[in-house]
Amino acid sequence: MEPARASTPSAIEPGVPPAGPSWWRLEMALPPELEESLLWKLPQLGISRVAVRHRPEAPRDLQLLAWLPEIDWPEDQRAELVKALAPLGAPFQLSLPAVTWVHQPEEDWSLSWKRHWQADPVGERLLVLPAWLECPEEHAERLVIAMDPGSAFGTGSHPTTRLCLEALETLAAAPKGLRGLRVADLGCGSGILGLGALRLGAASVAAVDTDSLAVRATGDNAALNGLGEAVQVSQGSIEVLATLLQGRPADLLLCNILAPVITALCPDFKAVIAPDGVGLLSGLLVDQATALDQALAEEGWQAELVARQDRWGLMVIRARPEAA
């Protein structure tokens, strides 16, 4: 990955802009805390050509790229765009990194966008692979999760996603493993976590997301992996997930959503996690763990912060013996 060039919002690469249809390419260093917020916000602003890139050996060194038609985005509109993105850093006490604007000619966007994605090993056994790429020979022994990275949130690069995939590997390596388990995925995004569980031996996944694009993406990515029959996905929240489970709570809950949302939903966790089941909660900041632990305890759950990356943490929850 090329390093992002820090500059003022109006900076342009040297050279004379080419004639004919052309575009502005936004480049920005991407703090992991802001990845999902930006990937949500940009499409809301009408910007759908977006990529996040990093070197496989440096998954925390992220760069955001987005392409905007020149005719629709004059200088004042691009300045307004940067202003609209700036508040996304406030919940994390972060400032939006400097933005560089690069002028470039018309090109085949499907090919240009795809060049910024590559095979991404996660943990010891998994490989997140863009659907159009062949599996590299050096990763031939890994379990492949084929993905369309542009379809919804969750490409494997965000720390919370990696923490959860690595935790799934840990569970799979335990004596009981994941073999035959029923999995519930609350806030499924691209479906990557459920697909990872299936690759590691789980039997089925029931998944929900409040975003219709995420629901479609999860179904599409399940089909890409030949796992469509093992995945049920619907639009909605925890009550829809309970319906999908048909009154039989899952053995394993995957929940990669922000801590305040987990707090709001945890009173209903017993409807989706079996009494002897396990939950992986991976959307929280480490400094939110204590308050979340207390909220979970009030609902009869025993929580443990078992892993962290940067400011993000992963909790494992189980029913307290007296509450099981």
Structural domain includes residue 3: no
Exposure of 269 by Cβ count < 10 A (0-12 exposed, 13-18 middle, 19+ buried)? buried
Q: Alpha-carbon distance 73 to 66, whole Å?
A: 12
> Both 106 and 159 in a single domain?
no
DSSP three-state, residue 291: helix
Q: CA nearest 303: which of 313, 291, 312, 293?
A: 293
Domain range enclosing 248: 120-319
- Per-residue confidence of the chain (324 residues) as pLDDT tens digits? 332 322 222 233 333 333 446 888 899 999 988 888 898 888 778 787 788 877 766 767 888 988 888 877 889 889 989 999 999 999 889 999 999 999 887 765 556 666 767 888 999 999 999 888 899 999 999 999 998 865 545 566 677 888 999 999 999 999 989 999 999 999 998 899 999 999 999 999 999 998 887 899 899 999 999 999 999 999 999 999 999 999 999 999 999 988 999 999 999 999 999 999 999 999 888 999 999 999 999 999 999 999 998 788 999 999 988 755
28 & 146 share domain: no
Burial tier of 113 (Cβ tally within 10 Å: 0-12, 13-18, 19+): middle
Same domain assignment for residues 149 and 245 = yes
- 0.75 surpassed by pTM: no
For residues 85 and 41, give the distance between their C-alpha atoms in angstroms, rounded to a whole number.
8
Q: What is the CATH number of the domain that holds 174?
A: 3.40.50.150
**CA-to-CA distance for 157 and 167, rounded, in angstroms?**
15
Query: Could you tell me the two tokens for 300?
Result: 């009869």
DSSP-derived pairing of the beta strands 250-255 and 50-53: unpaired
Distances (CA, A) of 225 to 134, 142, 194, 214: 13, 14, 12, 16
Q: What is the CATH number of the domain that holds 66?
A: 3.30.70.2170
Q: Are residues 110 and 130 in the same domain?
A: no
Among residues 85, 114, 143, which one ends one of the domains? 114
- Domain presence at residue 1: no
Is the same domain home to 60 and 132?
no
Q: Indicate if 143 and 224 belong to the same structural domain.
A: yes
3-state DSSP call for residue 250?
Answer: strand
Task: Give the model's pLDDT for residue 108.
Answer: 59
The beta strand positions in the chain, using DSSP E, are 22-30, 50-53, 62-69, 99-105, 120-122, 126-130, 143-147, 182-186, 204-209, 231-235, 250-255, 273-285, 301-309, 312-319
**Same domain for 129 and 109:** no
Beta bridge partners of 171: none
Which has the closest alpha carbon to 249: 225, 266, 274, 228?
274
For position 4, what pLDDT does the model report? 30
The total number of structural domains that make up the chain: 2
pLDDT confidence of residue 1:
33
